[in-house]
Amino acid sequence: MRYGHFDDAAREYVIDTPATPLPWINYLGNESFFSLISNTGGGYSFYKDAKLRRITRYRYNGVPFDNGARSYYVTLMNGDGPDAKPIETFSPTFLPAKTPLDRYECRHGIGYTVFEAQKSGIATRLTAFVPLGANAEVNRLDITNVNGAPKTVDVTGCVEWCLWNAVDDASNFQRNLSTGEVEVERLEDATILYHKTEFKERRNHYAFYGVNAPVVGFDTSRDEFLGQFNGWDTPQVIAEGKAHDSVAHGWYPIAANRVRVTVDPGETKTLVFTLGYIEVPDDQKWEDPTDPAKVGIINKKPAHELFSRFNSAAEVDKALSELKDYWNGLLSTYSVSSGDARLDRMVNIWHQYQCMVTFNMSRSASYYESGMGRGMGFRDSNQDLLGFVHLVPERARERIIDIASTQMEDGSAWHQYQPLTKKGNADIGGGFNDDPLWLIAGVNAYLAETGDASILTEPVPFNNVEGSEVPLLEHLRRSANFTMSHLGPHRLPLIGRADWNDCLNLNCFSSTPGESFQTVENNDTGVAESVFIGGMFVLYGGQYADILAHYGEACGMSADAVADEVATVRGAIDDMTEAVKTAGWDGEWFVRAYDAYSRPVGSHTDTEGQIYIEPQGMCVMAGIGLDDGKAQEALKSVREKLTCEWGTAILAPAYSTYRIELGEISSYPRGYKENGGIFCHNNPWISIANAVAGNDEEAFAVYRRNCPAWLEDKSEIRKVEPYVYCQMVAGPESPTPGEGKNSWLTGTAAWTFVDVSQYLLGVRPTLDGLAIEPHLPAEYTDLTVTRVYRGVTYTIKLERTGSRSLTVNGSPVEGNVVPVPADGSTSVDVVVTF
Amino acid sequence: MRYGHFDDAAREYVIDTPATPLPWINYLGNESFFSLISNTGGGYSFYKDAKLRRITRYRYNGVPFDNGARSYYVTLMNGDGPDAKPIETFSPTFLPAKTPLDRYECRHGIGYTVFEAQKSGIATRLTAFVPLGANAEVNRLDITNVNGAPKTVDVTGCVEWCLWNAVDDASNFQRNLSTGEVEVERLEDATILYHKTEFKERRNHYAFYGVNAPVVGFDTSRDEFLGQFNGWDTPQVIAEGKAHDSVAHGWYPIAANRVRVTVDPGETKTLVFTLGYIEVPDDQKWEDPTDPAKVGIINKKPAHELFSRFNSAAEVDKALSELKDYWNGLLSTYSVSSGDARLDRMVNIWHQYQCMVTFNMSRSASYYESGMGRGMGFRDSNQDLLGFVHLVPERARERIIDIASTQMEDGSAWHQYQPLTKKGNADIGGGFNDDPLWLIAGVNAYLAETGDASILTEPVPFNNVEGSEVPLLEHLRRSANFTMSHLGPHRLPLIGRADWNDCLNLNCFSSTPGESFQTVENNDTGVAESVFIGGMFVLYGGQYADILAHYGEACGMSADAVADEVATVRGAIDDMTEAVKTAGWDGEWFVRAYDAYSRPVGSHTDTEGQIYIEPQGMCVMAGIGLDDGKAQEALKSVREKLTCEWGTAILAPAYSTYRIELGEISSYPRGYKENGGIFCHNNPWISIANAVAGNDEEAFAVYRRNCPAWLEDKSEIRKVEPYVYCQMVAGPESPTPGEGKNSWLTGTAAWTFVDVSQYLLGVRPTLDGLAIEPHLPAEYTDLTVTRVYRGVTYTIKLERTGSRSLTVNGSPVEGNVVPVPADGSTSVDVVVTF
């Protein structure tokens, strides 16, 4: 069942009903100010860090769910006087008022969302977005009178303030209920309500919510606004038809502006509500620090400046248009015309958009990630890069430097770091032994995309310690050496606290309820090994050797030193390949790991957890077993033992009991999350592995099983948004197979984009240039990929002929790499037959 | 304005309306299982630890507020068949259904709450309590048909499960939404819904919610129960008139039992809903671990045993009656008959009840303390003892040992410890230099109450390290020595991180927004001093000397050693007294402290924060300045500069700007909390100080300004419950003077009970026996205090004659201490004139 449709021309998903199986959300903002917005107007806003600079409050456990974020109430009044009474109220976003609408439509676009609603002759259109270069969410509301008589309409816009720190805001009530402070500013042509809690003390930032019109009333006290016992659906002031002009002192500060408009038949009136975040230098915090009567009155100048940028419909139009242009530019970097709308809309629009969002958010703020906890992941962010680097390479470069700066001198890494401070997160610590290798993956992707070798000589510190800077290339060396110097009894890499699968905790035995498996003592005894990291080393160690070979001399190494080190690394790769093929091979698939007792994990010798997906994907992607049939055998086992209509499960059979020696993985109910769920992140590894192994049909089938656009018709089962990937789909052994969870913020986005863009459509940046080698199923015969790469626009025709060839600007070329145009031309025509 | 009245005979506060200014709550449970319950049925339950063993979910920030705890829906049906439809639904607790009631009454009793409601001819009576010795909350619901025709009524009882760890439950959604597991058991005469999330793995506990009747349906999925967009007021299954028999897999597990009863005119039907918590040994977790078909099926035997104890009205009656008897016994320890109902009801009922609750909860779980954070406070728990020790001395003894076990070898202490583990809380650490002395206060109170000197030789470890045990007396010595060996330039005690006022942070400079002042780096440079701790040392150092003198030899010390040490301590007290009178005296009041630059805090030399309440109260309580007029002068300054009709503010003038050298105190808006609020905890110090100084009228006036029973008529301003103390009342410099916050869990309870029972009514336990010395205002002329003390019941008549005398069993006695009856008699008649 569908709840909407794709509007590919507008690059929008159009939702027809508020009653989607779950809130279907969108993200606003690209740089510092971000908002989540659901198809009923729910969500919240923050500046850079969803924990430390939360601007508006959200209730993840709220009942009713998803209310109170940006609440708009459109009230038809029975007159224009001070005693006018309300006739009927609805919300342009359906919630919170819940009034059944005559018309409802929510259009999630790329960086903006539009709600169209109609009730009793009043039509509304609410456009929400974060303009480029502005720390503000703009909400433009158009109100149109679509029937025969003039109407007086009161429009109330309301946001609820979070007291900045989202964790404290939800826990430290004995303090919080006494700290809230606001200011009210009624200007001739605008009204601005300020939230200045803790500005008095250590904060240099405040927020505001204004409207470009005088108000008939306002409220800043939630209790006054809602009244007792009421929810956001029926606030007391809405029922009464009159604001209370309340000024909050502590308790729950909000900002509610009530504007009255009279709309003639056919006429449209426009209001612009702006939610803004302001930082001021310490010496400019106050309006007039010398005047005792003005103690505590904030300096509003910067707020006025920001507010005035969007105080007319024309200015808002212009800002939205700039935002769309910006995205048009980004999305032109990679596009396909395949004849299949599902493929095109995912590749050209939604998938790349999701890659940007995951790059921005890491795993911090979604409808499943509360934004209260973890920061950026070392592993996550490196992988997020893979799907993002082509969009804005400069930001990827900056991120790489940030990530590498949290690496330790021995090559290990903090597992997470805080986006605001960029420092390693000591609560989580390190010891995740896959982390270092992901840095190579990220840097390799950046180099392949840009050819910008200057990044390799960029001085980057260890653990953010000033003075410890070494060239980035040295960080990669430490990464590779870390694996090479941490091998276990089978010459496989030690797993440490965990590898990519954070829930396979082979050294972290926990028997205390509720204890975090990620922070419990790591009893690493030097025995537990990861076949998965073995595969990673073959793949990313190889990338490191390639980087050395390409750029080592340019980085100041002698030719001999390069040759020596490349030989050493390649020797280690050969040894690792051998170890994986022997100790790492179970007979029909790759073993997952060895536990702290040196027993195999992911082996037919066990009754449960016999086969895991990760080593099959990673080892075959690395090329292990392509030469001796093991790759094909492993992929066959994946198809037969792990795959169902909803995708490929992470393991089977799921664990029915808790195994202390395996950790969190066995803590989940069967079929969910890491215990037998379809953990989508690793499904593209299987797709890529099949492509690498030449199984093109299966490669695409794996892609399709997980691809949102193909699952749109099953939205009542999948539940999550049909335009984005989710982290996990309940597996075949669960009671609810196909049910998706944790949409948006998942490495699935980046990895599946690598899969579809570089392996299935086969347009892959390499250190040598753009390689083209499609792996597509029979039904795809003629496609065009447009790729802007290192400043050159490649128009690439893919034609199914049954034999492989490459023609560049009409001339045949050997191999699959398109040479960089020698004549400096900025567009190249490529034809690839396959 | 009142919202109810005291029913002194029943020991209940009777609330007439659901629309109290804030939820007015009660506490159920005395030992391990606790519930909070508001006058509309809100709240939550937990086992021992509100963070780690949260049983039901609560939303502190919920909108609408205070819904969803224990939700009961009484639905009048239009028939008895499977297709019967709902006519009307109401909640016996008003919320969540919100249906206006024909009658509403909430009676908060001592350990139980009763709701009486009536709507459309159906009367309900819901009785909620935690029986003695049971890890369960029992909800007995009586349904009476009060009009003329038989009625079919569906009763739905619902609780929402918390996934055990209250912090994770409110943040870790990416995991939590996949972990929820339940079981449903439909027996012939009962229905029990089980919550077993994480029982599969490391938990040895589950919860259940059962009803002593077969159900017509059930739900364990919140989404199924509520439906989309609905709140707890209008669940979908209630609107439909039919349960969905849903089984939750992840998401939001609940337990909802729907029972159908037919009630004839005049008839009453009774249902018993029981919420239970079960722990099972690891080897008995499962129903049948040998049967593969029963993998994951929990062992329900212990649940059946607990459930069956309360599965009839008669058994519930018996359990409630036992609970009331228990409390009658406790409250008979101290009672007064004064002729003033306000004084009697506070002293005899509510005040002692609140002392028990604060002893049980410390500062963990209230409607302001989220139960997510801190554990037991070293300082807090020692002070809580002071008002509790007479009720259950054995529990006070146990608590003292727990607290002392977290002391360090140098006499310092962890500031907090977790109730479940009893270990010091490393997140908060130590360095609060008043902490050690409070241990002497607690032990002295225990000794004065019981005379049980054996506690002094009890072996008690340092920092819970096995093998480090020394006699408790040695801990007291370390406490005293800690102060004596940590003096600053004015020979006043160093303040460390903070003293009693956690928000006066003289060594903890913070400029980072949101950073905790309690955990930011402590830059103690050995300069910042506390006059308050100086006063404490004079008082509690003196108590330590008394303990030594009384019990030193019994503890194995030689008479010489005792004399030497007593002399040393008394010498230090004399020195401290001198330091307080010189460096600690500002001219008209005691200085509060010296900051890290050795500048006085709480001095007329400053423009704000000129006078603080704490040193005035503590120093005069310690007797400092009674001999030279400084005490009277300080108390006069308190009256003139800090006191308003709502009580005595903590300081004046409030700080208008942030002062980094003072810390959190200046972070609050003016007039709130530590920045000029009426911080009630220290008001009794002023009352006691006035009593000690002989200002009896003012001593009682201070008591009365803060006493809830005197403020009942102003409940619309005070807002919090009129039967308990609150931590803070907005001060005279705030925009909302008189507004109370943070009710229930406050040291105000213990200290004010010390004040009223030991100083105003003047019946004070000492190491030598019961001392009697009333300090009452003129209007109190004839009173009787009954006090059970060391096994003897003292009936004490207080008669105003204008001259002081003491008569015991008819014979005059010198001094004010009643001798312990030499003849072993268990009742003594005392007459005191004053």
- The model's pTM is 0.96
Q: Which two tokens stand for residue B648?
A: 């005595």
Widest CA span of chain A, in angstroms?
89
| Residue of chain A minimizing CA distance to B62 | A62
Rounded to an integer, what distance in angstroms lies between the CA atom of residue B558 and that of residue B554? Answer: 9
Q: Name the nearest CA neighbour of A573 among A440, A454, A750, A676.
A: A440
**B501, pLDDT greater than 90:** yes
Paired strand residues for A528? none
Distance to chain A for B178, nearest Cα, Å: 6
Return the structure tokens found at B340: 């003033």
Cβ separation B249–A669 shorter than 8 A: yes
> Looking at chain B from residue 282 to 311, which residues have their Cβ under 8 Å from any Cβ of chain A?
295-296
**3-class secondary-structure state, position A36:** strand
A502 is catalytic: yes
pLDDT at A420: 79
Tens-digit pLDDT profile for residues B401-411: 999 999 999 99
User: For A376-416, where are the alpha helices, taking DSSP H only?
Assistant: 378-386, 393-404
Q: Are A484 and A463 in contact (CB under 8 A)?
A: no
Task: Pick the residue of B65, B201, B283 with the most A CBs within 10 A to test the interface with A by mutation.
Answer: B201
Q: Are strands B611-612 and B651-652 parallel, antiparallel or unpaired?
A: antiparallel
Proportion of chain B above pLDDT 90, given as a percent: 95
In 10 A of CB B516, how many CB atoms? 14
- What is the pLDDT, as a whole number, of residue A418? 81
In the predicted structure, residue B375 carries a pLDDT above the cut 90: no
Task: Give the separation between CA B196 and CA B566, rounded to whole angstroms.
Answer: 58
Residue with more model confidence, B493 or A363: B493
CA B307 to CA B272: how far, in whole Å?
10
Residue B172: is its pLDDT beyond 80? yes
Residue A666 CB contacts under 8 Å (≥ 6 apart), including other chains: A609, A655, A657, A658, A659, A675, B201
The mean per-residue pLDDT over the stretch B246-260 comes to 98
For the stretch B664-719, pLDDT in tens is 999 999 999 999 999 999 999 999 999 999 999 999 999 999 999 999 999 999 99
| Chain A residue with Cα closest to B229 | A64
- Pairwise CB contact (< 8 Å): B165 & A514: yes
> Which of A98, A169, A667 shows the shortest C-beta gap to B201?
A667
**Adjacent-strand bridge partners of B90:** B74
Handedness of CA A753, A757, A758, A762 (dihedral sign): positive
ipTM for the whole complex: 0.96
Nearest to A368 among B169, B173, B203 (CB): B173
Q: What is the pLDDT of residue B330?
A: 96
Residue pair B517/B509 in contact by the 8 Å Cβ criterion: no
Q: Do residues B381 and B397 make contact, with C-beta atoms less than 8 angstroms apart?
A: no
The pair of structure tokens assigned to B200 is: 């599969």
Strands (E), A602-694: 611-612, 643-644, 647-648, 651-652, 678-679
Backbone angles phi, psi at B148, to 5 degrees: -85, -10
Q: Give the list of residues 6+ apart from residue A237 with CB closer than 8 angstroms, or none.
A: A156, A217, A219, A224, A225, A227, A243, A244, A256, A258
State how far the Cα of A498 lies from the Cα of B659, in Å rounded to an integer.
Answer: 46
Instruction: Return the SS3 of A59.
Output: coil
Burial of B825 (0-12, 13-18, 19+ CB in 10 A): exposed
Model pLDDT, residue B521: 87
B61, B198, B250 ranked by CB distance to A170: nearest: B61
Of A65, A658, A734, the CB nearest to B200: A658
A227 touches chain B (CB under 8 A): no
* Integer Cα distance of B683 and B678 in angstroms: 8
Write down the residue that tokens 């001094």 correspond to: B815
- DSSP, collapsed to helix, strand or coil, labels residue A135 as coil
Q: Which residues of chain A have pLDDT under 70?
A: 374
**How many degrees, rounded to 5, is the angle at CA B690 between CA B689 and CA B695?**
160
The reply to whether residue B669 touches residue A368, judged by beta carbons under 8 angstroms, is no
d(CA A678, CA A650): 6
pLDDT for the residue B756: 98
Cα angle B506, B510, B514 (rounded to 5 degrees) comes to 130
Record: contact B173-A228, CB cut-off 8 A: no
Residue in B52, B59, B667 nearest the CB of A201: B667
Q: DSSP string spanning B494-562?
A: B-BT-SS-TT--SS----STT--TTTS-----S--EEHHHHHHIIIIIHHHHHHHHHHTTTTT--HHHH
Cβ contact B673–A178 (<8 Å): yes
CA angle (A46 as vertex; A40, A49 as ends), nearest 5: 135
Residues of B in contact with A368 (CB under 8 A): 173-174, 177
How confident is the model at residue B523, as a pLDDT? Answer: 87
Round to whole Å and give the CA distance between B580 and B603. 14
Residue of A nearest to B727 (CA): A174
What gap in Å lies between CA B69 and CA A540, rounded to an integer?
53
Q: Cα(B782)–Cα(B340) distance, rounded to whole angstroms?
A: 11
Nearest CA in chain A to B42: A229
Number of Cβ atoms within 10 Å of the Cβ of A825: 10
Residue of A nearest to B94 (CA): A229
- Rounded CA gap, B273 and B258, in Å? 11
Residue B819 pLDDT class (50, 70, 90 cuts): confident
**Cα gap B572→B581, rounded to integer Å:** 14
Residue B789: is its pLDDT beyond 80? yes
Q: Which of A259, A113, A127 is nearest to A193 (CA)?
A: A259
Best of A91, A174, A370, A680 to mutate (most B CBs within 10 Å, chain B):
A174
Q: What is the 3-state secondary structure (H, E, C) of A423-464?
A: CECCCCCCCECCHHHHHHHHHHHHHHHHCCHHHHHCEECCCC
Arithmetic mean of pLDDT, B551-555: 97
Mutation target vs A (from B61, B362, B515; most A CBs, 10 A cutoff): B61
Cross-chain residue pair B672–A179, CB shorter than 8 Å: yes
The pLDDT score that the predictor gives to residue A714 is: 98
Q: Is the pLDDT of residue B374 over 80?
A: no
pLDDT at A674: 98
* 3-state class (DSSP) for residue B698: helix
Give yes or no for A403 touching B (CB within 8 A).
no
